[in-house]
Chains A and B, each alone.
Chain A
Amino acid sequence: MGGYVTPVLAFAPAAGVMLLAVLLIVLALVYYLVSVIVALWKITKGLDEVIVGVGEIIAKSAPVNDIVTTINAHLDAGVDALEGLLVKKAGMEDAVGLVDGMYPGAAAAGFRNFPESNSVTPPRIGEVYTRGTLTLARLGREAPVAAASPKGPVLRHVEAGSLAARELYPERRQSRPKSLSRSPVIGTDSPEQYEQRDDIGAPRKRMPTP
């Protein structure tokens, strides 16, 4: 029994530190990997919800394409029929002018089934209206006539209606002159006497009987 004793405990502290380090590494691995697993589990759960929602979207939007295509086809047929009828009844030039009067600038696009309509200079359909009609159109909001001519904002003002109405008059009254030319005096005492007509008050002439 008096043999040689190996000094095992001589390097025990270094090995203990090594074990401690390895243990720390393993603990860190366990902690972070478990946390990552939990996060991935949440991600999987969220993606399941996403898949459900996307599946519903796909199912609900599946017939939309066919329906919209059908609606567009019918609307195209209606537009073609109305354009054809308008051109047939009003003529190409007036038809383009009418459409351009309703939708300013639409004449540039022309009619779909009438390529020659692009070259037609649209007549100003609005010119057939009187000045009073244009003024009323300007007073109105989004009136088709007021959209293109005359340009400018809507004149109607809820708090200063008189000012808006006064601005409709010519510029001569806008400057508030001290005296304007007076209205002509009429009557027997008027300085300007017009020629008397002989037939006024006389018996009406009768046509000779055959």
Chain B
Amino acid sequence: MILWWIGDAVLLLVVVPVVVYLLRGVLNAAKSIVPSVQAIATVAAAGSKDLDAGALLVRTQEQSIETIAGVANYGGSLDVILDDA
């Protein structure tokens, strides 16, 4: 009989608090991840939106080619007009 009561006491005073403590730690860790993941999702969405202007790089590429072609034409003309040093 005494062993039964000792077992009950251990179960109530040791096992239950330990189980609750461990489970609570797991829950708090899981809950702490949630806002971080949501923040990462927000940042990823914002980063994707920022890259919408990346499509303009195609036009930038075309303009750089046109500009360099114009510079080359001017340079060729200057090479003909100006005397060498």
Contact = CB atoms under 8 A, between A and B. Distances in A.
A156 B15 CA distance: 81
A156 B23 CA distance: 71
A57 B52 CA distance: 9
Contacts of A88: 79, 84-85
A53 B27 CA distance: 27
A39 B12 contact: no
B44 A60 contact: no
Contacts of A57: 44, 47-48, 51
A108 interface: no
Interface string B7-33: 110011001100110011011001101
Contact of B4 (A14, A40, A68): A14
A150 interface: no
B71 A46 contact: no
19 contacts: A14-B8, A18-B8, A35-B30, A39-B34, A43-B37, A49-B44, A53-B41, A56-B51, A60-B54, A63-B54, A63-B58, A71-B60, A77-B68, A78-B71, A85-B78, A87-B85, A89-B84, A90-B85, A91-B85
Given A17-B8, A53-B43, 16 more contacts: A11-B1, A21-B8, A21-B16, A25-B15, A25-B16, A28-B23, A39-B33, A40-B30, A50-B37, A57-B51, A64-B54, A68-B57, A71-B60, A74-B65, A81-B71, A89-B82
Interface of A: 10-11, 14-15, 17-18, 21-22, 24-25, 28-29, 32-33, 35-36, 39-40, 42-43, 46-47, 49-50, 52-54, 56-57, 60-61, 63-64, 67-68, 70-71, 74-75, 77-78, 81-82, 85, 87-91, 94
